[in-house]
A and B are shown apart, each in its own frame.
Chain A
């Protein structure tokens, strides 16, 4: 017991280093995603994101236009520059695809059939052929390209049709789907925590049991029910679905918190003549704020990120797409090949939850602890 509060453990540096290490390891995928969001699909499949900050020597192909060929001293000559804008530095070049870096810049390359090719380091080239040049000859060269990042992915996403609509739809789904379960669960949790009635223990066990039922099981029966009662696929339907799927966790979390409130306060209020409703609104609800907030964060994040429930309970036309559906079904392209878009979309859709999380995170920790240590 020599490392009680006030004295510093001699091993605290080890703790600090391991914490930093863990955080770094934990962050690697996110950083990778962030870097990838600034690169296009071809870049992503060419090199890993960790190589992207460095200039890379890449091989390129340029075509010498055969229309520009002039006859000079018995040979046909094409001159030009491999760089369209005249900027760049060629290190090596070649006349064959299989050997694109055979020659140093400035050397004269002897190609097949007495053709020659010279590429200077500034990109200017001279191609000669004794025979008539019919097809555009290919020039291969290696040039070092600077790191290339662009905001194109973000532009594509922000400029795509109906993105604003999708954003509003997501909010339309998320906000009621967060508030409704909290309202219901707070009442239920109070009843299960402080009101005495028969079967209370059984009800609590039932709610805990519902926590382990996967929501996927309920998709088809629930949608069938919605269709029968006339709700169909609509925003009302998805609010109800999210409410139902969120309730077990909400009730469980809030009840555990409320049960831990001091019995004295509630009993003395009752002695003073307060009804259950007054106890709930005047005492329990204000005291449970951290737990309410922590559940609100959970539910908000889950409904914000949800794809499955939205696809099942909302109409499938593009006017009712939420952001996740919009990204998966519209922006990712046929067969989902656009990784860069996916990465950028992840960062755009992460923005709102991040704001919510950072403004409310102190409640998250408090609420969780309060619920769990009881």
Chain B
């Protein structure tokens, strides 16, 4: 007992030393394609020596390593000690710590729904005045990012809380260039072409798609992305917004039509690896593996830009696997809609260092430092695209910057009960055989019940 008390005292003493005491700067302090000028000016103007900054987020494992390299530069510029802790159960942890008054200074929310919830309970602090204008002017499709980061506070007044940092593009189809080459398949330019290609692959004796909805307690979410992408391709962006706000009911014929467009792929035994029955039970992390099987178990996989993290070890981007834009219907004049999602920083415990960190996030280099490590896209228009780690991220970045319509993942914006509950389970019911109209009706009933 006594011994363990001593040990713990020693541990507490040790733990007060900074995590970045020996944090070295991974990319030096000059050269490369980074935007050093604004960084040096920021470093000159800001001095936070002796202050500490705590940040939490959902980035763990190698994403944590990457983001800590970015924080090291903030530390070098300002002298503030940054402690980052990633959590696998971030969504629960941040609520507990904010409610009990031990929240870190900043939290990186993986999606805006939770941030909006917490803002309405008064657990977030609005960003400094002028941030909204800055984002509107300096982000690609700036106003949409301002809107996504603006929530009602405790008293119902809209304030800017969220600063978007890492963005995922969801409208991507992954494929093996070699398998496409061999089959003589071309990248489809329109949804009609994509459907023709799907039929062509079946005719040639292959299976076109790998779809997996499994994700533990979140099983079903990959299907919501499909439906959202289909919504953007079958109806106008205004209808999409109305759907998110439930001004257009979930069982509206337009929504049902979008669900059925998804079903045209997922509920066809010949189209999906393992047959339609396997869709709900395959884990989304395992589902892209079919692309790399020899012979291929499938030729295409629609998933967001983060999925390369789950490709088999040693997969070469652009060589073993590549992607194309999930195309729109040529017959409908809806432009090139892009579905995305993103993580945002919000202040959970205000301090000078927290405000300075948001200022740091405005610098191109804060984005370039992660771009160069791969697996990161940004909507910041001032970054040097040459810092992207590979051509495929650069191409994804361009899809993002050239989108005629950008819409955020609807399920992340809907109330948690729907977007992280009824919508997910409804999609599982749908792929296992329940008619789309019944599923949509069920989700709308749940939505009515919580209003």
Q: Which of A's residues lie within 8 Å of B, judged by CB? A: 40-42, 45-46, 59-61, 96-100, 138, 140, 165, 168-169, 171-172, 175-176, 179, 219-224, 226-228, 232-235, 311-312, 315-320, 328-337
- Alpha-carbon separation in the docked complex, A50 to B93 (Å): 37
Q: Chain B residues with Cβ under 8 A from A336's Cβ? A: 88
Number of chain B residues close to chain A: CB under 8 A: 53
Among the 9-residue stretches B41-49, B53-61, B133-141, B407-415, the one with 4 or more Cβ atoms under 8 Å from chain A is B53-61
Once the chains are docked, how many angstroms separate the CA of A320 from the CA of B182?
A: 54
Which of A96, A179, A233, A316 gathers most chain B CB within 10 Å?
Answer: A316
Q: Which residues of A contact B204 (CB under 8 A)?
A: 98
Contacts known (A46-B289, A227-B102, A320-B15); A176 close to B178, Cβ less than 8 A: no
Tell me whether A224 and B88 are in contact (CB under 8 A): no
- Shortest Cβ distance from A100 into B: residue: B294
- Complex Cα distance, B14 from A302, in Å, reads 27
Residues in chain A near residue B310, CB distance under 8 A: 335, 337
- With A140-B294, A175-B4, A333-B62: A224-B285 Cβ-Cβ less than 8 Å: no
B residues 278-336 near A (Cβ < 8 Å) are 285-286, 289, 293-296, 306, 309-310, 312-313
**Would B96 and A220 count as touching, CB distance under 8 A?**
yes
> Are B60 and A235 touching (Cβ within 8 A)?
no
Contact indicator B11/A333 (Cβ below 8 Å): no
Contact B7 A168 (CB under 8 A): yes
In the bound complex, how far is the Cα of B8 from the Cα of A165, in angstroms? Answer: 11
Contact B15 A319 (CB under 8 A): yes
Q: Are B178 and A97 in contact (CB under 8 A)?
A: yes
Instruction: Give A112 to B61 CA distance when docked, in angstroms.
Output: 46
- Is B88 within 8 A of A328, CB to CB? yes
Nearest B-chain residue to A341, judged by Cβ: B61
CB-nearest residue of chain A relative to B183? A98
Q: List 12 A-B contacts (CB under 8 A).
A: A97-B296, A98-B179, A140-B294, A169-B11, A226-B100, A227-B102, A317-B15, A328-B88, A333-B61, A334-B59, A335-B309, A337-B309
Contacts of A98 in B (CB 8 A): 179, 182-183, 204-206, 295-296
Give the residue of B63, B104, B179 whose beta carbon is less than 8 angstroms from that of A316: B104
Does B450 count as interface, using CB distance less than 8 angstroms?
no
B425 → chain A, closest Cβ, in Å?
A: 20
Q: Smallest CB-CB separation from A99: which chain B residue?
A: B295
Q: Which of B99, B176, B306 has the most CB of A within 10 A?
A: B99
Identify which of residues 72-121 in chain B touch chain A, using a CB-to-CB cut-off of 8 Å.
83, 85-89, 93, 96-97, 99-102, 104
A-B contact count (CB 8 A): 140
Given contacts A175-B4, A330-B60, 8 further A-B contacts (CB under 8 A): A98-B295, A223-B97, A224-B99, A316-B104, A318-B19, A319-B17, A329-B88, A334-B62
Is B1's CB within 8 Å of the partner chain A?
yes
Overall SS of chain A's interface: helix
Q: Quick one: closest B residue to A321, CB to CB?
A: B85
Distance in angstroms between the alpha carbons of A337 and B287 in the assembled complex: 12
B61–A334 contact, CB under 8 A? yes
| B441 interfacial by beta-carbon distance below 8 Å | no
In the complex, the answer to whether B19 meets A234 with C-beta atoms within 8 Å is no
For residue B157, CB closer than 8 A to chain A, the reply is no
Contact A235 B12 (CB under 8 A): yes
Docked Cα-Cα span, A41 to B54, in Å, equals 33
Across-interface contacts of B183 in A (CB, < 8 A): 98
Residue of B nearest to A224 (CB): B100
The reply to whether A334 and B1 form a contact with Cβ atoms under 8 Å apart is no
Contacts of A171 in B (CB 8 A): 4, 7
B394 part of interface (Cβ distance < 8 Å): no
Alpha-carbon gap, A331 to B296, bound state (A): 31
- A138 neighbours in B (Cβ, 8 Å): 178
Complex interface residues of chain B between 1 and 55 (CB less than 8 A to chain A): 1, 4-5, 7-8, 11-12, 14-15, 17, 19, 54
CA distance A252 to B295 in the complex (A): 62
Residues in A with CB closer than 8 Å to B86 are: 329-330
- CB neighbours (8 Å) of A59 from chain B are 293-295
Q: Which residue of B lies closest to A179 (CB)?
A: B1
Which of A40, A224, A329 has a CB less than 8 Å from the CB of B101?
A224
- Residues from chain A with a CB closer than 8 A to the CB of B101 are 223-224, 227-228
Assess the A332–B7 pair: CB atoms within 8 A: no
CB distance from B10 to the nearest CB of A (A): 9
Q: Which residues of B contact A61 (CB under 8 A)?
A: 294
Contact A60 B294 (CB under 8 A): yes
Shortest Cβ-Cβ A-B pairs, 9 listed:
A319-B15, A223-B100, A316-B85, A333-B61, A59-B294, A224-B100, A172-B8, A45-B286, A235-B8
Residues of A within 8 A of B88 (CB): 328-329, 332, 336
* Given A175-B4, A176-B5, A165-B294 contact (CB < 8 Å): no
Q: How far is the CB of A57 from chain B (nearest CB, A)?
A: 12
In the assembled complex, B64 has its CB within 8 A of some CB on chain A = yes
B102 touches A334 (CB 8 A): no
- A41 and B62 CA atoms in complex are apart in Å by 16
Contact of A168 among B11, B54, B97 (CB under 8 A): B11
Chain B residue at smallest Cβ distance from A171: B4
Let me know if B87 and A329 touch, CB within 8 A: yes
Contact B63 A317 (CB under 8 A): no
Contacts of B12 in A (CB 8 A): 234-235, 320
- Asked if B312 contacts A42 (CB within 8 A), the reply is yes
Instruction: Name the residue among A96, A176, A333 with the largest chain B CB count within 10 angstroms.
Output: A333
Whether A329 contacts B294 by the Cβ 8 Å rule is no
* Complex Cα–Cα for A224 and B11 (A): 24
* A232 CA / B16 CA spacing, docked (Å): 14
Would A311 and B4 count as touching, CB distance under 8 A?
no
Q: State in angstroms the CA–CA spacing of A45 and B312 once bound together.
A: 10
Q: Which of A45, A223, A235, A330 contacts B102 (CB 8 A)?
A: A223
Residue pair A311, B89 in contact (C-beta under 8 Å): yes
**Interface pair A330/B64, CB less than 8 Å apart:** yes
A163-B56 Cα distance, complex, nearest whole Å: 21
Cα of A315 to Cα of B87 in the assembled complex, Å: 12
A61-B294, A319-B14 known; A334 vs B85 contact (CB < 8 Å): no
Residue of B nearest to A339 (CB): B285
Known A220-B100, A329-B88: A317·B11 in contact at CB below 8 Å:
no
Q: How far is the CB of A194 from chain B (nearest CB, A)?
A: 27
A residues near B54, Cβ cutoff 8 Å: 316-317
> What distance in Å separates the Cβ of B429 from its nearest Cβ neighbour in chain A?
24
Write out the residue numbers on chain B whose beta carbons fall within 8 Å of the beta carbon of A233: 102
Q: CA of A224 to CA of B8 in the docked complex: distance in angstroms?
A: 23
